A and B are shown apart, each in its own frame.
Chain A
Amino acid sequence: MSKKTVVRIIIDFVIFLAVIQGWWFVALPIGLAAVLNLPYYAEIVIAGIFYDSLFGLMPGSGIDGYLASIVTLTAYIILTGLKKVVRD
């Protein structure tokens, strides 16, 4: 197992624990840093859905209930595109 894979698994686990605790302010910066530094870090989107499933989606919460999913998906698309532009 390569070093990058180990780092990726550790980051996944830290984000997972942060999301379980509801600490979006921990999970989000780590996730964004991971998107910038690791290839195809789609776990951030799963983390967003995970967060919304646990703490969003209240009846009557409207779009607020999907905020984490929207933010993570948008961040993933933008940062992945940005990475490609910077590298090219």
Chain B
Amino acid sequence: MMKLSGANNRGRYRFAVSILFSVIVVIVAGTFLYFPQIYSSLFAAVARPFWRIQFAVNSGVLKTEEILIMENETLKRTIYEQNLNQATVRELELENLELKDLLGRASTTDGILAAVLVKPPLAPYDELVIDLGYDFIHSTTSRVYAPGHVLIGKISEISGQVSKVRLFTSPGQKVEVEIGPKHYPVTAIGRGGGQYEAQLPRSALVLEGDIANTSYLGDRFFAKVVSVIDDPASPFVKILLASPVNIYQLRWVMVEN
């Protein structure tokens, strides 16, 4: 009789525990599904002190002052070296881009790459000195192109190791070009400083921003109209053109064979 009563009590106890457990699971699951942020914030608050301790240990809170100073010095040196390396890489990237630009577009032409040794303002009268001499250049009329295959001038003098390039923007130099959407033929005369000047009848419709092409080179971009000066006393309008290439920043050119 006592045994039966004990078994009954144990059974009831287990049943009560199971019911309690089920109720707790249902409540927890419900709140977990509908208010997950409660658990997140609660458990994150529990875990945070441990994470902080771990972070502090990883950050070197247990290291001695000497070790930290040494590490600091090493890191500073590494950063300095990395900066130097990065500057070198940036410089090489730039050079690579310029060379790709120059060689990529000129791949169908028989051109020779040349480095610009002297350029304006160090060279007078819009001239360049390049590192190609008699070995590579045989004609004083060879055309010279800037990156982007922009015609900028002609070889004017050749010596043993170097040559001079007379830019078309050099004062007095003349180039036949066609301006604007209607392709008005005109002679662009160099003014120096990377600019040209041209004259057209007043009836010609040319606006700032119009493009000038060299017709004999297959309509390549040569210059851009930067100003149209209209003098009522003159039958012509004066047009100022600028080369798309900044001659003060040229580093490489392509010389046509």
Contacts and interface: CB of A to CB of B under 8 A. Distances in A.
Nearest to B28: A49
Contacts of A54: 40, 43-44, 47
Interface string B21-44: 100010011001100100110111
User: Interface residues of A toward B: which range?
Assistant: 10 to 19
Contacts of B80: none
A53 B50 contact: no
B32 A49 contact: yes
B47 A20 contact: yes
A17 B40 contact: no
Nearest to B17: A40
B51 interface: yes
Interface in B167-207: none
A53 B21 contact: no
A53 B42 contact: yes
A66 interface: yes
A12 B53 CA distance: 19
Contacts, number: 34
A53 B28 contact: no
Contact of B36 (A20, A40, A53, A73): A53
B57 to A, nearest CB: 13
Contact of A57 (B28, B40, B51): B40
Contacts of B44: 53-54
Contacts of A30: none
B25 A57 contact: no
Nearest to A51: B43
Contacts of A45: 25
A38 to B, nearest CB: 15
A15 to B, nearest CB: 13
A69 B47 contact: no
Contacts of B28: 49
B13 to A, nearest CB: 12
Contact of B51 (A20, A49, A50, A66): A20
A73 B43 contact: no
Contacts of B39: 49, 52-53, 57
B25 A73 contact: yes
A15 B202 CA distance: 90
Contacts of B17: 40
Interface in A52-77: 52-54, 57, 65-66, 69, 73
Nearest to A69: B32
A17 B50 contact: yes
A53 B25 contact: no
Interface of A: 17, 20, 40, 42, 45, 49-50, 52-54, 57, 65-66, 69, 73
The 9 A-B pairs with the shortest beta carbon distances in the complex, nearest first, are A53-B43, A53-B39, A57-B36, A20-B47, A53-B40, A50-B43, A20-B50, A54-B43, A57-B40
9 contacts: A17-B50, A50-B43, A52-B39, A53-B39, A53-B42, A53-B44, A57-B39, A69-B29, A69-B32
